[in-house]
Structure formats: structure tokens, C-alpha cells
């Protein structure tokens, strides 16, 4: 394909180059770090000027592959479907049909194309890559004694094996007041009714001095059995152990705790976020699906409960809730140029020569100018004997 015959004189010292590809069209261009050389430096004397023209040649790392829609629309350094070369696909972790991973190694791994190479990344909380071989993926679980919570972290003391901590992380042994009791996690011995003060020390809920009062049982507190406890949802609000736990903690007067009264306009409801009863909802929020949400901005409850914004499975635009109305935001490199919300972000501004870097930014179609990485491609003009390189 040919180049434009009209040169564009541009200073090699400028940060941005102004290219005139047609009389009524200008294209902004940012030069590479290494300045291009003149075809014939002596032709411009001491002016230090370089002429740039539209180009149909792909810049470094860009190319056209079978199935390409536009010229130079593939970045071999970042495209996971053409990583390093056309057709080289990075492995994908396919989610099971039921959405549930049974193998933690599969759930933990993901792949991306970095500088033309398929790179493995592991979710360290589920599985890790400790041997450095990508072929076997994320082969090491963080619950192992030879790599407890991190590669190479060895639990040398048999009395302190690798265990799940109260924080959810893995470490050797348990903190003071906690014990695994033969399980793969740490248990609180100070208030665990099944392991009170020591492993397998189960408290008798009926106590040793007869049946407990109403809505109460005898359990563990401070590492000792025999302490009166209330069943879930009830409280001893009058401090009289004789009548047991007499007060429901699900009312507006005692919501989640004794004497916790709800303010006007609020109701004692179950909050799935707090996993208990709370006074709901604060001003400006609405109770939806057992939690308080802002209908003006909640993407899953936009304007009304259950109104979900966005198109399921879309990779190029993200649904969002704006003032109670569903809208969408385009992912980087995509744009909604036709203003039609039904087709979402329909334009790839990284490669479309009619919308290069943004809607309506047009490359020189007569010269076959390519759009690569959101910029119209240029190169030094051919030298034709004039003052500047053509």
C-alpha cells in the first residue's frame, strides 16, 4: 500500500507531533523514546526536522492475524489469543457448568500474556506455584507443612503443624488460647462448648445442678463449663437468672442486644452482612434481600430491589447504577460511538481506523493508515530531493 505524497514537517524535539494527513484532518502523535532518523540527514541541514507520513506498516509488537478485522489490530505482547505469535493461545481455566471448582488447583490459577509470553498467576490463599514449572500449574496447597502459607515456609515442630488461623490464613501452630484438637483449624478453648479449656472437654448443657431455666443452657466461658448462656435470639435483659433468657432480641426495643432500641423509621431485621439482627435501614438505604442498599447506586438493586445492571458475560462494558437508572461504562479500549445502549460498547478504539483512540478520530484511509494501540501509525516520509524528507 502506498504512502501519502504530502510531507509533514515535525520538529524532532517536540513532545507531540502534529500530522496533517488531509487538509481538513489532523492527527496527534506521540513519538517513541528513540527518535527516528532522517532518510538523508544532510537534506535538512541544521534544522533537525523530520517529516512523518501516514503508514500502513505495523509498529513493533503489532500485526494482523487470520481473522483480523483491521490492519495491525493484534498486539502480540498482550493478546492471550495471539501471545508472541498468531494463534498461540494461553491456557484458560474453564469454570465448571455448576460454577463450583472441586479442585483448588484449578480455582487458583489464571493466565495472561505478558511481553509475548504466557504467564501463570496463582491465588496464594488457595494454591501456589512453588516449583516454578508452569506445566503443572499451581501445584502446592498453602496448608502443607513444607509450604505453610508461603512457598518454603516449613513447620518443623510436629506439635505445631500447618493450621488455618482465626484470620483465615495458614501458619504453624495456633495462637495462645487456641488449639486444633486434631482438626485442620484452630479452635477457641475459652468459649467453645465442645472443647472447653481443653480438647474434647464437652460441656453438659443441662449442668450438674438440674435443668437450666427457660431459653438457656450451661456452656463454656473463660475455659470453664457451667456458665449460663442464652440460646440464639434470646437475652437475659432483666439480669434475673431464675427466669432464664426471657427477652427476644428480634424486636424494635431489643434488637440484637438488650435495650438496643431502633430509631423512628427503622425496623429490627436480619442483616446477612452482620449475620444477625440489626436496626435497619439507616436513612437513604432500602432493605433488599436481607441487607441495606442504596437504590441510587447499587448495581444489583438499581432504582428498585433486584434490578441488576449490566449484560451478563460482557467483557467490554460494565453495568453501573447512576441515580437509580442503569447505565454502562466501557472497558479500556472500547467505546459507545453510536449512542445505542443495546449494543453496548461496540467500537474497539485500539484498532478501528475510523475511531482510533476515541470516537470520530479518523486515520488516513486513502493512504491505508493503520490504527495500532489507539494511535494512527506514521513513519518518516520518503526522501524526494526536497528540503525535508518525504
User: Tell me: the pLDDT tens digits for 255-288?
Assistant: 999 999 999 989 999 998 889 999 999 999 999 9
pLDDT band at 378 (very low <50, low <70, confident <90, very high): very high
Cβ–Cβ < 8 Å for 388, 49: yes
Predicted confidence band of residue 100 (pLDDT cuts 50, 70, 90): low
pLDDT tens for each residue of 163-205? 999 998 999 999 999 999 999 999 999 999 999 999 999 999 9
List pLDDT tens digits, range 201-254.
Answer: 999 999 877 789 999 999 999 999 999 999 999 999 999 988 999 999 999 999
Distance between CA atoms of residues 277 and 120, nearest Å: 43
Q: Model pTM? A: 0.56
Q: Is 333 left (phi over 0), alpha (psi -120 to 50) or beta?
A: left
Average pLDDT, the chain: 82
Q: Does residue 7 have a pLDDT over 50?
A: no
Exposed, middle or buried, 101 (CB in 10 Å: 0-12/13-18/19+)? middle
- For residue 105, what pLDDT band results from cuts at 50, 70 and 90? low
Lowest mean pLDDT among 18-32, 128-142, 214-228, 317-331: 18-32
State the pLDDT at residue 104. Answer: 60
pLDDT at 312 (0 to 100): 53
The CB-side HSE value for 146 (13 A sphere, CA atoms) comes to 4
pLDDT band at 333 (very low <50, low <70, confident <90, very high): very high
Mean pLDDT, residues 368-378 taken together: 95
Q: What confidence score (pLDDT) does residue 94 get? A: 62
What does the pLDDT average to over 2-6? 41
Which of 80-84, 299-303, 343-347 bottoms out in mean pLDDT, i.e. has the lowest? Answer: 343-347
- Rounded to whole angstroms, how far apart are CA atoms 326 and 159? 56
**Per-residue pLDDT tens for 28-54?**
334 444 333 323 334 444 456 778 899
User: Do residues 291 and 298 make contact, with C-beta atoms less than 8 angstroms apart?
Assistant: no
Between CA 125 and CA 123 the distance in angstroms is 6
Per-residue pLDDT, averaged over 145-152, amounts to 94
Is residue 260 within 8 A of residue 251, CB to CB? The reply is: no
Instruction: Look at residues 321, 319, 351, 348 and name the one whose alpha carbon lies nearest to residue 336.
Output: 348
Count of CB atoms situated within 10 Å of the CB of 250: 15
Amino acid at each position: 500500500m502506498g504512502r501519502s505524497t504530502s510531507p509533514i514537517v515535525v520538529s524532532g524535539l517536540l513532545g507531540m507531533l502534529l500530522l496533517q494527513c488531509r487538509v481538513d484532518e489532523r492527527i496527534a502523535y506521540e513519538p517513541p523514546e528513540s527518535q527516528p532518523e532522517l532518510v538523508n540527514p544532510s537534506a535538512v541541514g541544521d534544522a533537525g526536522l523530520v517529516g512523518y507520513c501516514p503508514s500502513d506498516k505495523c509498529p513493533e509488537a503489532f500485526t494482523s492475524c487470520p481473522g483480523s478485522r483491521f490492519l495491525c489490530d493484534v498486539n502480540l505482547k498482550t493478546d492471550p489469543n495471539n501471545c508472541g505469535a498468531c494463534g498461540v493461545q494461553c491456557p484458560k481455566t474453564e469454570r465448571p457448568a455448576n460454577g463450583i471448582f472441586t479442585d483448588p488447583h484449578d480455582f487458583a490459577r489464571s493466565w495472561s500474556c505478558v511481553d509475548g509470553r504466557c504467564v501463570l498467576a496463582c491465588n496464594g490463599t488457595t494454591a501456589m506455584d512453588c516449583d516454578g514449572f508452569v506445566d503443572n500449574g499451581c501445584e502446592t496447597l498453602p496448608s502443607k507443612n513444607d509450604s505453610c502459607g508461603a512457598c518454603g515456609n516449613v513447620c518443623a515442630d510436629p506439635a505445631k503443624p500447618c493450621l488455618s488461623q482465626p484470620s483465615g490464613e495458614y501458619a504453624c501452630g495456633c495462637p495462645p488460647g487456641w488449639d486444633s484438637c486434631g482438626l485442620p483449624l484452630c479452635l477457641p478453648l475459652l468459649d467453645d462448648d465442645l472443647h472447653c479449656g481443653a480438647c474434647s472437654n464437652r460441656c453438659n448443657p443441662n449442668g450438674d445442678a438440674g435443668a437450666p431455666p427457660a431459653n438457656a443452657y450451661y456452656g463454656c466461658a473463660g475455659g470453664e463449663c457451667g456458665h449460663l448462656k442464652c440460646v440464639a435470639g434470646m437475652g437475659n435483659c432483666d439480669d434475673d437468672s431464675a427466669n432464664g433468657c426471657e427477652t427476644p432480641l428480634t424486636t424494635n426495643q431489643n434488637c440484637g442486644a438488650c435495650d438496643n432500641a431502633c430509631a423512628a423509621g427503622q425496623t429490627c431485621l436480619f442483616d446477612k452482612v452482620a449475620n444477625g439482627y440489626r436496626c435497619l435501614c439507616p436513612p437513604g438505604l432500602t432493605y433488599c434481600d436481607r441487607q441495606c442498599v442504596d437504590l441510587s447506586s447499587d448495581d444489583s438493586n438499581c432504582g428498585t430491589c433486584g434490578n441488576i445492571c449490566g449484560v451478563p458475560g460482557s467483557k467490554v462494558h460494565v453495568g453501573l447504577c447512576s441515580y437509580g437508572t442503569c447505565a454502562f461504562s466501557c472497558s479500556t479500549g472500547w467505546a459507545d460511538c453510536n449512542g445505542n445502549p443495546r449494543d453496548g460498547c461496540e467500537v474497539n478504539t485500539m484498532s478501528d481506523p475510523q475511531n482510533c483512540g476515541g470516537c470520530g478520530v479518523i486515520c488516513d484511509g486513502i493512504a491505508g493508515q493503520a490504527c495500532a494501540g489507539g494511535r494512527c501509525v506514521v513513519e518518516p516520509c520518503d526522501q524526494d530531493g526536497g528540503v525535508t524528507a518525504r
